[in-house]
Amino acid sequence: MTTVYQFKESLYINLTNRCPNACVFCAKSKGNKMFNGYNLDLGEKEPSAQEVLTEIDKQISAGFTPKEIIFCGYGEPTMALPVLLEVAKNLKAKYSYSLRLNTLGLGSLVWGRDITKELAPYIDKVNISLNATDEKTWLKIVRPAPKYAEESFKAMQDFVRSATKNIKEVAVSVVSNQGIDAEKAKKLANSLGAKFFVREYFDA
């Protein structure tokens, strides 16, 4: 199992395999646990903050200088919010690297409160995956768990709005090969106060 891995110029942190969604394009739905040679399946046991911090220290001491440290992973990082916050707080205290969260934007819905304020002291950038520009398509593509489905599209947009108020840099992105109208997505992102970009799809 891999909790911290290098990809391009950055260090990526895989905190959890849990996710409130079941996206049609998710590697997990294809049974694929590998990414770029790393096995991202955490099995039954998610890492503690100390385990993650030790691994990051090890990779940095071995000579890797990351452009960014990114909470990403084979699941939704905010599902492990307490660990995420502890790791981010310790990294901020020890290093000057930029910290980024890649998220689907349902963290506040899952935790029942606005978590962007809790992330703000430590997280420099948030990238939110949009996946679709209307609720019907969004539900069809990201397939949220039934208990989140009804509120999910609005909650994701509320998360973007709050993030733009509390966090330095917020961007909404779509994956290049998913057939999403990038112009519409850009308009929606900008209307929520966020920047927009199209990102490359990475499979294993």
Site for ligand SF4, rule CB under 6 A: 19, 21-23, 26, 28, 75-76, 104
For residues 71 and 100, give the distance between their C-alpha atoms in angstroms, rounded to a whole number: 6
CB 174 within 8 A of CB 198: yes
CB of 60 to ligand SF4, least distance (A): 26
Q: Which phi and psi (to 5°) does residue 62 adopt? A: -75, -5
CB of 64 to ligand SF4, least distance (A): 25
- Non-local (6+) Cβ contacts of 187 within 8 A are none
Q: Which CB, 97 or 138, lies closer to ligand SF4?
A: 138
Q: Which CB, 17 or 166, lies closer to ligand SF4?
A: 17
CB of 59 to ligand SF4, least distance (A): 23
Q: Which CB, 97 or 142, lies closer to ligand SF4?
A: 142
CB of 28 to ligand SF4, least distance (A): 5
CB of 39 to ligand SF4, least distance (A): 15
- Non-local (6+) Cβ contacts of 65 within 8 A are none
Q: Which CB, 23 or 185, lies closer to ligand SF4?
A: 23
CB of 126 to ligand SF4, least distance (A): 14
Q: Which CB, 66 or 75, lies closer to ligand SF4?
A: 75
Q: Which CB, 97 or 125, lies closer to ligand SF4?
A: 125
